[in-house]
């Protein structure tokens, strides 16, 4: 296993790689969980050489406290990766290596997909994601890249970045991995209070409720019921619940769900921890 912390060293290592080798990249911010492990395992199936990058990217945080609170566990992350496969490679750059002296978030045009949901609640977030993802794609020049469906809007933004700048890269979106209670795995889950953890299944339960009752209620009615159920729990707040098309992110409902692409997007703040999730309102074949 290779662990590289300096961009120069990485450049040297990558320059020695045969061009014939299929290279996959799994970008992460560390604090790895089973969701990341499933991305890494998928990457191993697709490629000769897999790199996992671990970098908590400052430009995608619109709230400095959120950035400071973000869990960091590099040692544990390296052990987890080692236990998956000895041939995996890890890149853990410093902020300096990635951004130099000026930490700048570049601006992108995502044709509006960044102007809804997370884009409204976290101004600049997707520009920050695209800034780091573009830098990583330029460094690694990968054949395949792996992202999780939990951050569905992020996968759309990355796909737009690929369409605009990296036509040869193929993105593989892997299914959300859930805990037994349905909670989508996320590095932020470790920040949940004991009290919040007890009732946190309400997030996935709300998505399932929406799916089961999609043809019965209007979007407004669904949201009203879901909000009331969630906010019955002290310290829980529904930030958004919206039904949007998986292809365009335009608002959709049971009347215009012609191509079965309607997806529910939810964001709940549980005792100060902000969690997102989503679910397609139609069974996939
Ligand atoms: O999904 C994440 O963990 C991050 O947004 C990513 C893609 C690694 C960019 O920092």
Q: Which helix (H) or strand (E) holds 273?
A: strand 273-280
Closest CA to 90 of 81, 103, 102, 100: 81
**Cross-strand pairs, 171:** 145
CATH superfamily of 2-174: HUPs (3.40.50.620)
pLDDT-derived band of residue 46, with 50, 70 and 90 as boundaries?
very high
Model pLDDT for residues 114-173, shown as the tens digit of each residue = 999 999 999 999 999 999 999 999 999 999 999 999 999 999 999 999 999 999 999 999
Expressed in angstroms and rounded, the spacing between residue 27 Cα and the centre of ligand 1 is 6
Query: Which residue's alpha carbon is nearest to atom 5 within ligand 1?
Result: 129
- Map out the domains of the chain as residue ranges: 2-174, 187-279
CA 22 to chain centre: 23
Query: Which residues lie closer than 8 Å to 195 by C-beta, 6 or more apart?
Result: 234, 235, 271
Provide the pLDDT for residue 103: 97
Any idea how long the chain is? 285
188-195 CB contacts, 8 Å cutoff, 24+ apart: 188/71, 188/273, 188/274, 188/275, 189/33, 189/273, 189/275, 190/31, 190/71, 191/69, 191/71, 191/273, 192/270, 192/271, 192/273, 193/235, 193/270, 193/271, 193/273, 195/234, 195/235, 195/271
- Asked if the model's pLDDT at residue 256 lies above 90, the reply is no
Could you tell me what percent of the chain has a pLDDT over 70? 100
Pick the residue whose CA is nearest to atom 9 on ligand 1.
129
Mean pLDDT of 183-200: 97
Count Cβ atoms below 10 Å from residue 146 Cβ, excluding itself: 25
Whole-number Å distance, alpha carbon 221 to ligand 1 midpoint, is 33
The predicted pLDDT at position 9 comes to 98
Per-residue pLDDT, averaged over 243-254, amounts to 95
User: pTM for the whole thing?
Assistant: 0.97
Stretch 66-88: mean pLDDT, rounded?
Answer: 96
- Closest atom, ligand 1, to C-alpha of 55: 10
Does 109 score more than 70 pLDDT? yes
**Which of 27, 95, 153, 184 gets mutated to test ligand 1 (max ligand atoms within 8 A of its CB)?**
27
Residue 257 confidence (pLDDT): 79
Q: What is the set of active-site residues?
A: 36
SS3 at position 100: coil
User: Sorting pLDDT into bands at 50, 70 and 90, what band is 258?
Assistant: confident
Q: Is the pLDDT of residue 4 over 80?
A: yes
- 193-244 pLDDT, tens digit each: 999 999 999 999 999 999 999 999 999 999 999 999 999 999 999 999 999 9
Mean pLDDT, the chain, rounded, equals 96
Cα 223 to Cα 219, 242, 279: the distances in Å are 6, 8, 14
Residue 57 CA to ligand 1 center (angstroms) comes to 8
Is pLDDT of 263 > 90?
yes
Radius of gyration in angstroms for the set of CA atoms belonging to the chain, rounded to a whole number: 19
Architecture of domain 187-279: 2-Layer Sandwich (3.30)
CA–CA dist 72, 238 (Å, integer): 27
Among 133, 136, 145, the mutation site with the greatest number of ligand 1 atoms within 8 A of its Cβ is 133
| Greater pLDDT, 163 or 18 | 163
Which residue's alpha carbon is at the smallest distance from atom 8 of ligand 1? 28
Which residues sit with their C-beta closer than 6 Å to ligand 1?
Answer: 27-29, 57, 60, 129, 132-133, 151, 154
- Provide the pLDDT for residue 285: 64
């Amino acid at each position: 296993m290779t662990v590289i912390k300096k961009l120069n060293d990485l450049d040297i290592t990558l320059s020695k790689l045969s061009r014939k080798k299929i290279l996959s990249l799994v970008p992460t911010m560390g604090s790895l969980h089973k969701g990341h492990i499933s991305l890494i395992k998928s990457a191993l199936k697709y490629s000769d050489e897999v790199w996992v990058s671990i970098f908590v990217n400052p430009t995608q945080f619109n709230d400095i406290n959120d950035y400071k609170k973000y869990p960091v566990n590099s040692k544990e992350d390296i052990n987890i990766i080692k236990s998956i496969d000895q041939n995996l490679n890890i890149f853990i750059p410093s902020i300096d290596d990635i951004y130099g002296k000026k930490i700048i978030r570049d601006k992108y045009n995502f044709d509006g997909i960044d102007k809804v949901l997370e884009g409204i609640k976290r101004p600049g977030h997707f520009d920050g994601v695209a800034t780091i993802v573009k830098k990583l794609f330029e460094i690694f020049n990968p054949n395949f890249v792996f992202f999780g469906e939990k951050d569905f809007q992020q996968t759309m933004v990355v796909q737009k970045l690929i369409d605009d700048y990296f036509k040869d890269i193929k993105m593989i979106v892997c299914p959300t991995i859930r805990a037994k209670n349905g909670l989508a795995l996320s590095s932020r889950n470790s920040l949940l209070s004991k009290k919040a953890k007890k009732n946190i299944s309400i997030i996935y339960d709300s998505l399932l409720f929406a799916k089961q009752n999609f043809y019965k209620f209007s979007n407004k009615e669904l949201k009203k019921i879901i909000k009331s159920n969630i906010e019955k729990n002290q310290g829980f707040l529904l930030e958004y619940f919206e039904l949007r098309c998986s292809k365009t992110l335009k608002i959709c409902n049971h009347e215009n769900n012609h191509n079965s692409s309607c997806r529910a997007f939810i964001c709940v703040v549980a005792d100060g921890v902000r969690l997102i999730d989503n679910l397609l309102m139609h069974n996939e074949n």
